[in-house]
Amino acid sequence: MARILVVEDDFMMLKTVEHRMKNEGHEVIQAKDGQEASKLIQQQGATIDLIITDLLMPFMSGLELINLIRVEYQMKTPIIVLSKVGNEDTVLQAFELGADDYLTKPFSPNELFIRVRKQLIKR
């Protein structure tokens, strides 16, 4: 079992990801935006095994969150991006900032699970 932080401002998307991860036996921590996620990471960073984040969110974007995690917090926790934004520049920027994987919405929950499992095995 892993502790997974899901950062998503769309309630239905958040519940979809949470449901799939819980069905696989993982514990899910939720944040509705990057700012809330940042506070959770400051409090529980060492106990979070993987982060799944959207990019387009209020207060702090997913790209800003990735940069904060990698640069300021110096965390190596795997990060998977789930986003409607699939243009090459954004995908490349996410990887350059430190994302480990990227899925474009809409996505298959089964594919997400496989990618989560792959990142947890690498960790």
Report the pLDDT value the prediction gives residue 86, as an integer from 0 to 100.
Answer: 83
Report the pLDDT value the prediction gives residue 46, as an integer from 0 to 100.
Answer: 84
Quick one: how far is CA 110 from the chain centroid?
16
Report the pLDDT value the prediction gives residue 47, as an integer from 0 to 100.
Answer: 93
- Using the predicted structure, report yes or no on whether residue 101 has a pLDDT greater than 80: yes
Give me the percent of the chain exceeding a pLDDT of 70: 100
Options 3.90.1170.30, 3.40.50.2300, 1.10.1060.10, 3.90.470.10; which CATH number does 3-122 get?
Answer: 3.40.50.2300
Summarize pLDDT for 35-73 with one digit per residue, the tens.
Answer: 999 999 999 878 999 999 999 998 999 999 999 999 999
User: Tokens standing for 74?
Assistant: 């110096």
Whole-structure pTM value: 0.95
pLDDT-derived band at 123, boundaries 50, 70, 90: confident
Domain residue spans of the chain: 3-122
- Using the predicted structure, report yes or no on whether residue 99 has a pLDDT greater than 80: yes
**Non-local CB neighbours of 47 within 8 Å, separated by 6+ positions:** 3
pLDDT-derived band at 6, boundaries 50, 70, 90: very high
Report the pLDDT value the prediction gives residue 70, as an integer from 0 to 100.
Answer: 97
Report the pLDDT value the prediction gives residue 95, as an integer from 0 to 100.
Answer: 97
DSSP letters, 71-97, are: IIS-----EEEEES---HHHHHHHHHH
CB-based burial, 92-116: b 16+ in 10 Å, e otherwise: ebbeebbbbbbbeeeeeeeebbebb
Helix (H, G, I), strand (E, B), or coil: what is residue 17?
helix
